[in-house]
Amino acid sequence: MIFIKTIFESIMPDWDEIFREKGHVFPSPHPDFPRVVELMKQHEVRRVLDIGCGTGRHLVYLAKHDFETYGFDASPHALELAKRWLQEEDLSADVFQHRMETSFPFDDGFFDAIISIQSIHHNMMSDIRSTINEIERVTSPRSILFITVPTFQPGPVAPEDDWELRKVEPDTYIPEKGPESGIPHHYFSCIDLISEFRYFEPLEIFIDATKHRAFLGIKRSEP
């Protein structure tokens, strides 16, 4: 338990350091996000939550499309950049600091859609399941879910790309080198995504242009 606590204590400062050094790490929305937003409109989505919103690339896009937009992240500096970006665009969103493995400060069924792009996998599996439980709780029936997670690349890699992954539990690794060293990475298979997000009917599971595994689903009316 001391080992896991040490891991968690390192996560947020590392991400804050990354955002302080690089600023808007991802300046553009996910390449598939425009069609996800069109699906949201077809389903008359109103409230959307971005889990791990970072510096706000999807918050800005959602707010521009007139959604009631919410987002949280563990990095204070990323949130400062997100708020500044929204202000520069004369847009509004409810943005706040929060850790995704803790209870979300929203009522049951509050959201019509949730997104989490390259974020939800940054934890140990027990805490990822806590996040998934909260996603299920705060979404209404027929809500849209769009998440992306990394794919595990076995085999030799170039020295500059070798993060020296250390396995800490099944399918969870911590890089000992690279820009995200010290931060847990859990790798989901297609079957894992279907199993863990079983309250959401998969519409698509695919490898996106960034080589991440994407899950687009809609919440089942009945569990």
Q: What is the 3-state secondary structure (H, E, C) of 170-191?
A: CCEEEECCCCCCCCCEECCCHH
CB of 131 within 8 A of CB of 120? yes
* Mean local confidence (pLDDT), 178-186: 82
Phi, psi torsion values for 9, nearest 5 degrees: -65, -25
Hey, what are 56's tokens?
């706000």
Query: Which of 109, 105, 107, 108 minimizes the C-alpha distance to 94?
Result: 105
- Torsion region of 74: left, alpha or beta (phi above 0 gives left; psi -120 to 50 gives alpha): alpha
Q: How confident is the model at residue 19 (pLDDT cuts 50, 70, 90)?
A: low
User: Tell me: the pLDDT tens digits for 100-156?
Assistant: 999 999 999 999 999 999 999 999 999 999 999 999 999 999 999 999 999 986 654
Average pLDDT in the chain:
88
**H or E element at residue 125:** helix 125-138
Instruction: Tell me the DSSP string of 93-119.
Output: -EEEE--TTSPPSS-TT-EEEEEEES-
Q: Domains in the chain, please, with CATH?
A: 2-154+187-219 (3.40.50.150)
The pLDDT of residue 158 is above 60: no
% of the chain surpassing 70 pLDDT: 83
Q: Model pTM?
A: 0.87
Distance of CA 163 to the CA centre of its chain: 21
d(CA 91, CA 40): 19
d(CA 21, CA 150): 23
